[in-house]
Amino acid sequence: MRRGADGAAGLGPGAYARLVLLLLGTLALLPLQLAAMRIAPRRAGAIPRRFHRLACRCLGVRRQVRGTPPPAGAGVLIVANHVSWLDICVMGAERRLSFVAKSEVQSWPVIGKLADLQRTLYIDRQRRGATAGAAAAMGARLAAGDDIVLFAEGTTGDGTRILPFRSSLLGAAHHAIDEAGGDVTVYPLAITYTGVAGLPGGRTGRAALAWYGDTELWPHLKHVLASGAVDVDLAWGEPIVMGKATSRKEATRLAEHSVRHARRRAVAGRHEA
């Protein structure tokens, strides 16, 4: 276990009050989302966005968005780096999204249920035949105008660097082109945690906010609550059109380059400020 996650001081009354507010809000929104998914699944993205905005407010997460985001309802594939479970809330607070996750996530307590309510697409990396089914589902969702998020590193990093993007993870998206009825537009997105409590985070601060390895959820959540305020930079890169003739490796290379460049600018800009 890393020091940053379990070394946080005891929570004060204010932090516990924010945690209770988040739990009550979750319980209130849960039945509404279940009903929406049954009655009007095309509109089921609005309630998760409210949940993520509530989570960001209760956890003290302050978002700064740079660059040009995809137009609403365009049906794009968002390729991002992955630092923490907080990434879901940060991105979900900005727009209606669904995520691509490994199949194991579906069996995780609490998180798996929340992922289902977010209409997450699951990929079983151990079964080659499962990719075709995931690709078909992804293509149908893109064609319907849904935005899908893919964390191309395949895991969470330590917050101080970008791991190599895996072109195999874009394979399902590449296979989904036929289902989507044409090209798929890829939007790179760099997620960078730039500060804690109004101060530049530095390498140590960014690593403390990362959720990776054997870090447990509750100590990490406690650390976020005790931080008081967390600043995060969301930087959109230039869109990449991925068609039938476009190599998934080339699309992966371009997306990774864009995310690395945006992250360097976010870190440098925070220190200058």
Q: What is the per-residue DSSP string for 208-253?
A: HH---TT--HHHHHHHHHHHS-EEEEEEE---EEE-TTS-HHHHHH
pTM for this prediction: 0.87
Q: What are 121's strand-pairing partners?
A: 100
Q: Which of 33, 242, 236, 248 is nearest to 120 (CA)?
A: 33
Q: How far apart are CA 225 and CA 20, in angstroms?
A: 12
Q: Is the pLDDT of residue 8 over 90?
A: no
Q: Which domains does the chain have, with CATH numbers?
A: 62-212+230-272 (3.40.1130.10)
Q: How far apart are CA 208 and CA 154, in angstroms?
A: 20
149's enclosing H/E stretch is strand 148-151
pLDDT band at 3 (very low <50, low <70, confident <90, very high): very low
**For 162-221, how does the pLDDT look when each residue is reduced to its tens digit (9 = 90+)?**
999 988 777 767 666 665 556 788 999 999 998 887 777 777 778 888 888 777 888 888
**For 48-85, how does the pLDDT look when each residue is reduced to its tens digit (9 = 90+)?**
999 999 999 999 999 999 999 999 878 889 999 999 99
Q: Is the pLDDT of residue 128 over 80?
A: no
When pLDDT is averaged across residues 117-145 and rounded to a whole number, the result is 78
Task: State the chain's mean pLDDT as an integer.
Answer: 84
Q: Which of 56, 9, 62 is nearest to 198 (CA)?
A: 62
Q: Helix (H) and strand (E) counts for the chain?
A: 11, 9
- Residue 102 near residue 127 (C-beta atoms within 8 A): no
**For 87-114, how does the pLDDT look when each residue is reduced to its tens digit (9 = 90+)?**
999 999 999 999 998 888 888 888 889 9
Q: How far apart are CA 66 and CA 77, in angstroms?
A: 18
Q: Is the pLDDT of residue 134 over 70?
A: yes
Q: Is the pLDDT of residue 245 over 50?
A: yes
Tell me what percent of the residues of the chain surpass a pLDDT of 90: 40
Tokens (6 digits) for 6: 């379990």
Q: Which of 133, 109, 110 is nearest to 121 (CA)?
A: 133
